[in-house]
Amino acid sequence: MTEAIGSTATPERPDGDSKQARRGGKRGKKGPLGRLGLFYRQIIAELRKVVWPTRHQLSTYTTVVIIFVVIVIGIVTVIDYGFTEAMKYVFG
């Protein structure tokens, strides 16, 4: 197959047919409400695949996160207090 550069010829498909490939597939025919319905069905399908934590795991993870946040707040408070005292010392 010889084509000139910049040619607008329709590319040949793998099955040897030179017809232009159809765009969109199943989604190409649906209107905005049909696409919205498909979107929500896909969301529900993905949520069914999720492995949800047990109540014990959830309470453990929540406790760990709260303790970690309190520790980080304490570290930031100490650093802020140190910078405040340093600025008072430097600038009077």
> What pLDDT band is residue 18 in, cutting at 50, 70 and 90?
low
Q: Is residue 4 part of a domain?
A: no
Q: Is residue 50 part of a domain?
A: yes
Selected residue with higher pLDDT from 3 and 68: 68
Cβ atoms of 78 and 70 within 8 Å: the answer is no
> Residue 44: which domain range?
31-91
Torsion region of 57: left, alpha or beta (phi above 0 gives left; psi -120 to 50 gives alpha): alpha
Give the whole-angstrom CA distance, residue 44 versus residue 12. Answer: 39
Q: Is residue 82 part of a domain?
A: yes
Q: Is residue 17 part of a domain?
A: no
Q: Is residue 7 part of a domain?
A: no
Dump pLDDT digits (tens) for 37-72. 999 999 999 999 999 999 999 999 999 999 999 999
Q: Is residue 23 part of a domain?
A: no
Q: How many domains does the chain have?
A: 1
Q: Is residue 49 part of a domain?
A: yes
User: CA of 10: how far to CAs of 7, 17, 22, 24, in Å?
Assistant: 9, 10, 12, 18
Instruction: Give the pLDDT of residue 13.
Output: 59
Instruction: Give the pLDDT of residue 6.
Output: 59
Residue 73 pLDDT > 80:
yes
Instruction: Give the pLDDT of residue 68.
Output: 98
Q: Give me the chain's average pLDDT, please.
A: 83
